[in-house]
Amino acid sequence: MPFETSIHHHVRAEVIEPTIAQRVLRVGRAPHRWFHHLVFIAAGKAEHRYAETSRQIQGPALMLAPPSEGEAIAFAAGSHGFLLGVSPDIIAEAFGDHAESPALRLFAGGRAVTEHLATGPRAEFTLLFQGAIAETHEAGRGSRMAAAAYVRLIYMLAWRLAAPAQQPEPHRGGSGPILQRFRQLVETHFRQHWAVSRYARELGVSADRLHAICSRSLGRSPIELIHDRLTQEARLRLERSGHSVQDISDTLGFRDPANFSHFFKRRTGLSPAKYRAHAASTASGGAVPVSSDYADWP
């Protein structure tokens, strides 16, 4: 299928050349609403606008943003940098199943800004972004595997630079660390449809205690949070891929498409087929508001 094999449906990449006026990049709108965005401000400054707030970022700096709506990056006149946006499929391929994978998924679920980069990291990011852009646009290239490799290296370098401030703290008691670890486990195992009791066992707490922590801190039960993540992934794949409903059902671990359709309709009010048709006919690409990241988790 051309939709699936074309790298441009999974990666957007461009050089931000210096201009005489401000340039605004709206990263939270169709067709890239569900993309993770990586922005490297090589020189100059930019303004990050999100949810009626703004933040000035002084380069050289790196900004990582999970999928969102209404988000924008405004490069100031004379500033120079790179923009890389990647689909959830590329993120999944980039992080894979390695020792660092859960931590990288957790890191990628939040926003991160690293300013005043030293010469070494600045040079590394420049080469990685240039490589990703060349892979996306140069004739004879266009490998998803190569693009995912660049994305993995960028996130890995950013994660290392952010440590320990933006990495999950070790367990020291209290509900915050348990929620962070629960989130990490959900991100890793939601396709396997783990029971709440298994998550609790992995966390070293009872199912009742996990339920109490989630309900008290987030107003939602563990199973609701797990189903939120599963529904989000289903929506992403229905909107952004050309896979059949059966293929999506299999990928998400449902026993059959009928079971998947029942789950999805109960959660969104639409069957998978009707949701896909509705998403294709609207500019925003969505019908039911479900958290597109984990901003509501601590």
- In a shared domain, residues 62 and 143: yes
Is 287 among the domain residues? no
- In a shared domain, residues 150 and 182: no
Is 168 among the domain residues? no
Sort 149 into a burial class: Cβ within 10 Å, 0-12 / 13-18 / 19+. Answer: middle
Q: What is the pLDDT tens value at each position of the chain, 298 positions in all?
A: 333 346 778 888 999 999 998 998 888 777 777 788 999 999 999 998 887 788 899 989 999 988 877 788 999 999 999 999 988 888 888 887 777 777 788 788 788 889 889 999 999 999 999 999 999 988 888 888 999 999 999 999 998 888 654 444 443 445 667 877 788 788 778 888 999 998 888 888 888 988 888 888 778 889 998 998 898 888 888 887 778 889 898 989 998 989 999 999 999 898 999 998 887 776 444 444 444 455 455 5
Quick one: which of 93, 106, 83, 90 has its CA closest to 27? 83
- In a shared domain, residues 46 and 114: yes
If one counts the domains in the chain, the total is 2
Task: Kindly report the CATH number assigned to the domain that includes residue 125.
Answer: 2.60.120.280
- In a shared domain, residues 143 and 17: yes
Is 286 among the domain residues? no
Residue 113 and residue 57 in contact, taking contact as beta carbons nearer than 8 Å: yes
Q: Coil, strand or helix: which one is 293?
A: coil
Task: Kindly report the CATH number assigned to the domain that includes residue 226.
Answer: 1.10.10.60
Whether the model clears a pTM of 0.75, i.e. scores above it, the answer is no
Print the domain residue range for 222.
Answer: 175-281
Quick one: which of 201, 204, 207, 236 has its CA closest to 222? 207
